[in-house]
Amino acid sequence: MKDKKIGFIGLGNVGSKIAYNILKNKNYSLFIFDLNKKTSKKLVSEGAILCNSIEELINNVTVFITCLPSPSSVKNVLLKTIPLINKSHLWIEMSTTDEEDMRVLSNLVIKKNASVLEAPITGGQHRAESGNISILVAGRKKTFQRAFPVLSCVGHQILHCGKIGNASTLKVVTNYLASINLLAIGEALMVCKKYGLDLKTAYNGIKISSGNSFVHETESQVILNGSYDVGFTMDLVCKDVGLFDKLTKKFNIPAKISNLMLKIFKNGQRKLGKRSLSTSIVKLLETDCDENLRSKGFPSTLVDLNKKKKGIEI
């Protein structure tokens, strides 16, 4: 089946960027819906078709994508689509959601003889904007092959992970590891500051060392700038670490780090606000140490300077 009409539900910080990369591909017509109409203005000005309801969107497309902030919002939207979908439809869920919920919801879609994939993205808002984000995909291989042209508009490295639930779980694991890195980076930079090391030197030293990470190369820059702007908020990191912690309990894993991390980020959410930037968790350490981790020459926002790369399966 050659899908030409794509629907997109959820136009937040990341969703709007994913949708725009689909819109840039002239092979598709893009139908969009978000409760907040303001988020649709740029896309509509570039040729997207604004729908006034989920029903209107579903009735006009064969593929519909959701990119929403929480498992509950994914569930609420999907339940509204169930009476409307048929065997021609493919649902692609691109949020970071609960693997148990995803399996239950996917079964509802399959019972309508429709198709489903989970396809959470990973790699940062700047790569979502450039179209070079990585995508973890789970579902039937045949469905993956059907969706690959659309996914190629959105991302570069695309991994098929097997059955539904696998991609959601792997995404939660990667976000958990990124969150560990963020907390550790804050403490590491603070040790360097207290010792008297130049923080740009410290940044470059970590970058060329065994202690380097994707999070250091990206989030450390906006911490050192002072903007903290990664486009990811405290409530989302609490959700993701909470989903990881839920998995450790499900499998009776005596994990000590995830529970401690959840307490740290929930404290950050309480003190800084749930919509504060996730990197601003480092502000609490700066306050406790009566220091700031500023250094000249670092950007306020992250930009992927690479041109859009061809989507490849890895």
Q: Residue 206, SS3?
A: helix
On whether both 124 and 191 belong to a single domain, the answer is no
Provide the mean pLDDT of the chain: 96
Residue at 90 is within a domain? yes
Q: Are residues 212 and 157 in the same domain?
A: no
Number of domains making up the chain? 2
Question: CB 94: neighbour CB atoms within 10 A?
Answer: 30
Query: Is residue 85 a part of any domain in this protein?
Result: yes
Q: Is the dihedral of CA 291, 236, 222, 192 positive or negative?
A: positive
pLDDT value at residue 15: 95
Same domain, 19 and 147: yes
Q: Of 125, 148, 163, which residue sits at a domain end? A: 163
pLDDT, tens digit, 9 for 90 and up, residues 78-93:
999 999 999 999 999 9
Provide the pLDDT for residue 171: 97
Judge if 159 and 177 occupy the same domain: no
Helix residue ranges per DSSP H, the chain = 15-23, 41-45, 54-58, 71-81, 99-111, 125-130, 141-154, 166-195, 199-207, 214-225, 234-250, 257-272, 281-289
What local confidence, expressed as pLDDT, does residue 145 receive?
98
Instruction: Report the C-alpha gap between 176 and 189 in whole angstroms.
Output: 20
Task: Residue 70: name the closest of 230, 242, 261, 247 by CA.
Answer: 242
8 A C-beta contact, residue 281 and residue 124:
no
Do 66 and 74 touch, CB atoms closer than 8 A? yes
Nearest to 308 by CA among 56, 59, 18, 62: 18
**Both 139 and 15 in a single domain?**
yes
* Per-residue pLDDT at 1: 58
Answer left, alpha or beta for residue 63, where phi above 0 means left and psi between -120 and 50 means alpha: beta
In which domain, by residue range, is 242 found? 169-289
Give the HSE-up count for residue 310: Cα atoms under 13 Å, Cβ half-sphere. Answer: 3
Average pLDDT of span 245-261? 96
pLDDT, position 10:
97
How much is the pTM? 0.95
| 126-164 per-position pLDDT tens digit | 999 999 999 999 999 999 999 999 999 999 999 999 999
Rg (CA), the chain: 20
Domain boundary among 163, 186, 208: 163
End residue of a domain, out of 163, 178, 202: 163
Q: Dihedral through CA 139, CA 143, CA 149, CA 154, nearest 10?
A: -20
33, 144: one domain: yes
Residue 300 within any structural domain of the chain: no
Does residue 299 lie in a domain region? Answer: no
- Confidence band of 2 (pLDDT split at 50, 70, 90): confident
